[in-house]
Amino acid sequence: MAYDRKMPGDLARSLGRRARDQQQDRRDTSSAWRRETFTLSREDAREKAKELFSAFPKQAYMTEIESWRELADGRIEFTMRRLPTAD
């Protein structure tokens, strides 16, 4: 029986695919939350987050940065989550 050796890169790609699939599944469901993902430079990401918090105040829309990470090139990838309407 042949043993298929996995390299660290294989594991990283597999986990990345799984995360993307789960993220896509989350978007496909009819959730009450609206999510938007952005990939911007650090300063632009900061400005975009401020803009969204101004447009959709946390108290009314429960706006939050759901997740974020710094990419290898220094850009920031982040997902903003909010309710579609205020009460």
Model confidence over 53-62: pLDDT tens digits?
Answer: 999 999 999 9
The 3-state DSSP class for residue 40 equals: strand
Residue 61 sits at φ, ψ, to 5 deg, of: -110, 0
Average pLDDT over residues 16-25: 78
By residue count, the chain amounts to 87
Q: How confident is the model at residue 75 (pLDDT cuts 50, 70, 90)?
A: very high
CATH entry, 33-87, from 3.40.710, 3.30.30, 2.160.20, 2.40.50: 3.30.30
